[in-house]
């Protein structure tokens, strides 16, 4: 039996705006195995962002349980969630979110600094270099964000997400600010990371980006509406998802 990275039961989130209660999530159940590549889709207002915030331990559910990599994170306080985010989650954002006027290596090193691992500066630096090499940025360690293209900045962000060797990569619209060719490159990086065993959760509203994943979960009105394997969608055994030409022959079905 494979290890569960995400184990969610009856996840509910209610925002109170004045006297109105908004039910952003209405009892979501979701299981994600280690090594999966999951895309979460849904229109704006579907609860997709709320789910992403809770998955990323940035927010707490109103009800329900969430186990991340075996740890119950639904009841943790702010600081405990910060520790979990640092150790178990690698964030990749739409707008890259690198520190400005800071070199690529220093950006990548940052999670290690907060991780309080007791590493020496040299060790941290080496880990940052290795992570940058994994995303194909060797030689650009000392470049500042302003000297890098959008695609390169997103690679730095992926390296930063990788450096702590987290249980999952959580990518929120990672290609939203990139042109289609660069988007393909970035999705290629996610795929190859997934091939090497990394669990990836991708939040997107673009169907063709979601096609890079192996499994697509569609959220609507605070509930999971569809949960499909991409192979099935391609084979046409499911009628909902738009027909998208297959991108590449799958290496392992």
Partner 1 sequence: MKSSLMRISNITLVGLRAIARNKMRSFLTALGIIIGVGCVIAVVAIGNGATKSVENTINSLGTNYIMVFPGAVTSSGARMFSGNSTLTADDADAIKAECPAVSYVAPTVRANAQIVAGELNWGTSIQGVSVDYPLIRSWNVADGTFFTDQDVKSASKVCVLGETVAQNLFPDGQAVGQIVRIKNVPFKVEGVLEKKGGNMMGQDQDDTVIAPYTTVMKRLSGKTKIDMLQVSAASAGQVQEAQSQIDAVLRQRHRIAPNGDADFQMRSQEEIAQAQTQQTGILRMLLLVIAAISLLVGGIGIMNIMLVSVTERTREIGIRMAIGAKGRHVLLQFLFEAVTLAIVGGALGIAFGVGASLAVKRFLQWPIVVTPTSVALSFGVAAFVGIFFGYYPARKAAKLDPIDALRYE
Nearest approach, Cβ of residue 241 and partner 1 (Å): 29
Nearest approach, Cβ of residue 149 and partner 1 (Å): 20
What is the binding site for partner 1 (CB under 8 A)? 53, 56, 58-59, 78-79, 82-83, 85-87, 91, 93, 97-102, 106, 110-111, 113-116, 118, 160, 164
Please say which residue, 111 or 222, places its beta carbon nearer to partner 1. 111
Nearest approach, Cβ of residue 204 and partner 1 (Å): 17
Nearest approach, Cβ of residue 152 and partner 1 (Å): 18
Please say which residue, 28 or 170, places its beta carbon nearer to partner 1. 170
Q: Closest Cα to residue 105, out of 159, 150, 149?
A: 159
Nearest approach, Cβ of residue 87 and partner 1 (Å): 7
Q: Any residues with CB less than 8 A from the CB of 85 and at least 6 apart, and which? A: 56, 57, 58, 91
Please say which residue, 168 or 241, places its beta carbon nearer to partner 1. 168
Please say which residue, 81 or 212, places its beta carbon nearer to partner 1. 81
Three-class DSSP category at 232: helix
Please say which residue, 59 or 184, places its beta carbon nearer to partner 1. 59
CA distance 198 to 191: 9
Which contiguous run of DSSP H or E holds residue 225? strand 223-229
Print burial letters for 93-106: b (CB count within 10 Å at least 16), e (below 16): bbebebeeeebbbb
Neighbours of 16 (CB within 10 A): 9
């Amino acid at each position: 039996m494979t290890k569960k990275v995400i184990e969610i039961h009856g996840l509910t989130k209610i925002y109170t705006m004045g006297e109105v209660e908004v039910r952003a999530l209405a009892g979501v159940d979701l299981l994600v195995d280690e090594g999966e590549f999951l895309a979460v889709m849904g229109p704006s207002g579907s609860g997709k962002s709320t789910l992403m915030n809770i998955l990323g331990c940035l927010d707490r559910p109103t009800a329900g349980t969430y186990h991340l990599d075996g740890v119950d994170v639904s009841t943790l306080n702010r600081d405990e969630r910060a520790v979990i985010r640092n150790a178990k989650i690698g964030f990749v954002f739409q707008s890259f979110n690198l520190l400005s006027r800071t070199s690529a290596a220093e950006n990548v090193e940052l999670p290690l600094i907060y991780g309080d691992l007791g590493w020496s500066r040299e060790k941290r630096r080496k880990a940052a270099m290795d992570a940058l090499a994994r995303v194909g940025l060797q030689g650009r360690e000392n470049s500042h964000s302003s000297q890098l293209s959008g695609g390169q900045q997103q690679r730095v962000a992926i390296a930063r997400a990788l450096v702590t060797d987290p249980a999952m990569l959580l990518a929120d619209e990672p290609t939203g600010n990139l042109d289609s060719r660069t988007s393909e490159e970035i999705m290629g990086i996610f795929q190859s990371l997934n091939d090497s065993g990394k669990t990836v959760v991708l939040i997107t509203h673009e169907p063709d980006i979601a096609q890079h994943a192996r499994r697509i979960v569609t959220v609507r009105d605070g509930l999971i509406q569809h949960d499909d394997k991409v192979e099935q969608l391609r084979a046409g055994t499911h009628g909902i998802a738009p027909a998208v030409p297959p991108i590449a022959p799958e290496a392992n079905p």
